[in-house]
Amino acid sequence: MQRKTDITLSVTLDENNTPEKMQWSAPDGGVKQQNMEAFFLSTWDKESQESARIDLWTKEMPVDQMQVFVHQALVGIRESYLRATEDAQMAEAMQQFCDFFASERNLNDVKKSN
Q: Is 6 helix (H, G, I), strand (E, B) or coil?
A: coil
- Sheet strand arrangement including 31-36: 8-13, 19-26, 31-36
From CA 61, how far away is CA 74, in angstroms rounded? 18
Kindly list the domain boundaries of the chain, sorted by start residue: 1-59, 62-106
Amino acid at 88: A
From CA 48, how far away is CA 51, in angstroms rounded? 9
C-beta separation of 81 from 91 below 8 A:
yes
pLDDT exceeds cutoff 90 at 111: no
Helix (H) or strand (E) holding 67: helix 63-85
Q: What is this structure's pTM? A: 0.88
pLDDT exceeds cutoff 70 at 112: no
From CA 73, how far away is CA 59, in angstroms rounded? 19
Amino acid at 22: M
For the segment 44-90, what is each residue's pLDDT rounded down to a tens digit? 999 999 999 999 999 999 999 999 999 999 999 999 999 999 999 99
